[in-house]
Amino acid sequence: MTLDPSVAAVRVAVRRRLRGLESPAVLVACSGGADSLALLAATVFETRRLDVRVVGAIVDHGLQEGSADHTARVVAQMVRLGVDETASGRVRVDAAGLGPEAAAREARYDVLDQMGRHFGASRVLLGHTLDDQAETVLLGLARGSGGRSIGGMRRAFHRDEASDGPVFWRPLLDLRRSQTEAACRAEGIEWWQDPHNDDSRFARSRVRRTVLPVLERELGPGIAEALARTGEQLQADGEVLDALAEQRHLELHHDTTGFDVGDLAPLDLALRHRVLRLAALRAGCPPSELTSVHIKALAEQVWNTTHLPRRIQLPGHVTAIREGDVLRFVRAPLA
């Protein structure tokens, strides 16, 4: 019997990301959609000869009516697909300072990180596809969010860069959403259609249902691939700049005394912004809340010589203080 090409493509993508796996378990995040179910089925298949437990995990955000029932159905479906264990968690989404989508994502990743640690999984697999990447790049471009956002989603990352927790992997970033749906059809897997995907209140839904189809129609096919390719190129450039910034940050910044602004002034703008961002993150600013507006305000203090001292309030109860020739970061004690 000939293997369906979409099933084969998903399995190959997963196989590549399981190479070198040393931990006894791998955690697969599963929402019940076609992308995550295809990912889960492929992971179960690819680990059948490995001494590795597959843990299927779902996070209930409690944002839709009947979400608890949906979670129970997905857990049952994961069992039928052959996972060794299942895990489910319910989170409270606090959108303060973030949009609902971003807040839900942050809460979900926190829970998945905890689950990965609990099961001893060194890798957490996420079902994002090339289509998701294209949407992310386009949203970053439309919002003027800078190279970090336009670079899109990384293939692999730690929830906390200083953490020894599991690595989050996105094995399907080179595959189209149509391929995961075709893989599910070929394997007789029914998937859930998230109603939020059709809800025009959400920017990503509008990009998916309206903007990208218009671009494909007006500019020709291949727009999604081009956007994803652009993001990957920007990521490569960004990684070089990030490494340089990390080195300069170590050389110029002290946790107590901060920066001498005279040391920051000669840096190229892109490098200066990254060094300031690293210092703000080290002081306790949440990465998801630290925006380009904050970084620009910090950079302006390098040249400021009037109305000193100057204080800039940053996310995470962090204050940047320019006083004399020094720019330092102070975090208020948590109550």
Domain that holds residue 183: 5-219
pTM here? 0.83
Residues 101 and 203 in one domain: yes
Domain end: 201, 219, 237, which one? 219
Residues 211 and 287 in one domain: no
Residue 102 CB-density burial (10 A; 0-12 exposed, 13-18 middle, 19+ buried): middle
Task: Count the Cβ atoms, other than its own, within 10 Å of residue 322.
Answer: 24
The per-residue pLDDT for 80 is 97
Residues 194 and 55 in one domain: yes
Domain end: 169, 193, 219, which one? 219
Residues 131 and 269 in one domain: no
The per-residue pLDDT for 335 is 45
The per-residue pLDDT for 243 is 94
- Is 80 inside any structural domain? yes
Give tens-digit pLDDT for 139-197.
888 877 667 778 889 999 888 655 678 999 999 999 999 999 999 999 999 999 877 77
Give every CB contact of residue 174 below 8 A, 6+ residues apart in sequence: 13, 130
Residues 313 and 195 in one domain: no
Residues 85 and 166 in one domain: yes
The per-residue pLDDT for 333 is 66
Q: Which amino acid is at 191?
A: W
Residues 189 and 300 in one domain: no
- Is 246 inside any structural domain? no
Q: What is the mean pLDDT of residues 125-144?
A: 91
Residues 83 and 190 in one domain: yes
The per-residue pLDDT for 95 is 56
Compute φ and ψ for 312, nearest 5 degrees: -125, 120
| Of 178, 280, 276, the residue nearest 221 (C-alpha) | 178
Residue with tokens 């949407």: 135
Please state, in angstroms and rounded to a whole number, the distance separating the CA atoms of residues 9 and 11.
5
Cα–Cα–Cα angle for 275, 281, 287, nearest 5°? 110
Give tens-digit pLDDT for 60-108.
876 677 788 999 999 999 999 999 999 998 877 665 555 667 777 888 8
- Is 236 inside any structural domain? no
- Is 233 inside any structural domain? no
Residues 201 and 272 in one domain: no
Query: Percent of the chain scored above 70 by pLDDT?
Result: 93
Give tens-digit pLDDT for 266-317.
999 999 999 999 999 999 888 777 888 899 999 999 999 888 899 999 988 9
Q: Which amino acid is at 202?
A: F
- Is 243 inside any structural domain? no
| Of 143, 128, 135, 108, the residue nearest 204 (C-alpha) | 135
Instruction: Give me 214's structure tokens.
Output: 């218009």
Residue 189 sits in a domain whose CATH number is: 3.40.50.620
Is 27's pLDDT higher than 80? yes
Query: Percent of the chain scored above 90 by pLDDT?
Result: 65
- Is 225 inside any structural domain? no
Residues 275 and 191 in one domain: no
The per-residue pLDDT for 143 is 75
Q: What is the mean pLDDT of residues 30-52?
A: 95
The per-residue pLDDT for 164 is 76
- Is 70 inside any structural domain? yes
Is 16's pLDDT higher than 90? yes
Phi-psi domain of 286 (left: phi exceeds 0; alpha: psi -120 through 50; beta: other): beta
Residue 322 sits in a domain whose CATH number is: 3.30.465.60
Give every CB contact of residue 312 below 8 A, 6+ residues apart in sequence: 294, 297, 298, 301, 319, 320, 321, 322
- Is 242 inside any structural domain? no
Residues 270 and 213 in one domain: no
The per-residue pLDDT for 161 is 59
Cα–Cα–Cα angle for 264, 243, 108, nearest 5°? 110
Residues 304 and 171 in one domain: no
In the chain, how many domains are there? Answer: 2
